[in-house]
Amino acid sequence: MITQEKYRSKAKKLLAEGSVKMVIGYSPGSTPDRRRPVFIRSFDEADQLVLDSNCIANLSGYLVSEGLLSDEKHVAIFLRPDGIRSINILAAESQLNVDQIIIFGFDTNGNEVRALTGEHAGEFSEFIGSIKEHPPEKSRDPLLYQIEQMNPQERFAFWKDEFSRCIKCYACRQACPMCYCRRCIVDSNQPQWINTSSHTLGNFEWNVVRAFHLAGRCVGCGNCDRACPVNIPLRLINSRMAEEVLDSFDHFAGLNPAQEPVLASFKKDDSETFIL
């Protein structure tokens, strides 16, 4: 069982002794099956923390987007394995310092995942490595198999139809821990790289450009998918890109904080098939 009480006690202890300035976790949401992020700053507030199978959002993005680590104090945060992977990617991309973070790890089965940072990074890498070797079958969406059976024209029509519903709200970007650019390409208007009006051409550009920016960086947390108000199955694109990167470059994103970003590094024996 998930150790809600254990982590509550741990949060209280860390806050009481001043070891962390904040604990980022989950509190009850607007319906019984929803959880919302909560930012706990004192011993008394820690009783708001809940931990169960409804805690699905990847909270790691708050560490970067809200600048919570800028004063070099420590922050504790509840994370599932996908969230721990994104912490590693953010560290590898110099967006945060893992030594400032205390991880309250948990998995979807309700088991505790040890808070693995600093000197425990090796064990953490081993744990994440086991996910790479034995990905849960349910993580591959059945729709992916259907899309793979389509010919290129059918596949293009499928995505054209899906993207036609995009309203350019950018909720997917805001919810994604890996979308941390201060100024997104879509916000640039001199020059304007992507048409921002909500028509098919601009929608396609936006979603495809975002997919490429996430290639080799997406951890499959599903934050983007859940945030999309028109239910575009963004997870399908990002998880397919992750598979492609694993096949082509043997790169599984977020194994450890020292892992080089796949599209910012190269190996001497890379195939270079795109040139030949």
Residue 222 as a binder of ligand SF4 (CB under 6 A): the answer is yes
Binding segment (CB under 6 A) for ligand SF4, from list 94-102, 104-112, 113-121, 217-225:
217-225
* Min CB(265)–ligand SF4 separation in Å: 19
DSSP the chain: ---HHHHHHHHHHHHHTTS-SEEEEEEE-SSTT-EEEEEE-SGGGGGG-B-STT-----THHHHHTTTTTT---EEEEE-HHHHHHHHHHHHTTS--GGGEEEEEE-TTS-EE----GGGHHHHHHHHHHHHHS--GGGS-HHHHHHHHS-HHHHHHHHHHHHTT-----HHHHH-TT---SS-GGG--TT--S--SSSHHHHHHHHHHHHHHHTTT-----HHHHH-TT---HHHHHHHHHHHHHHHH---TTS-TTPPPGGG---TT---TTT-
CB of 112 to ligand SF4, least distance (A): 23
Q: Single out the residue of 144, 208, 227, 263 in contact with ligand SF4 (rule: CB under 6 A).
A: 227
Nearer to ligand SF4, 115 or 228 (CB): 228
Q: Which of 11, 87, 176, 215 binds ligand SF4 (CB under 6 A)?
A: 176
Specify the stretch interacting with ligand SF4 by CB under 6 A; choose among 42-50, 113-121, 227-235, 262-270: 227-235
Task: Answer yes or no whether residue 81 interacts with ligand SF4 by CB under 6 A.
Answer: no
Residues in contact with ligand SF4 by the rule CB under 6 A = 58, 166-172, 175-178, 207, 214, 218-224, 227-230, 232, 234-235, 238
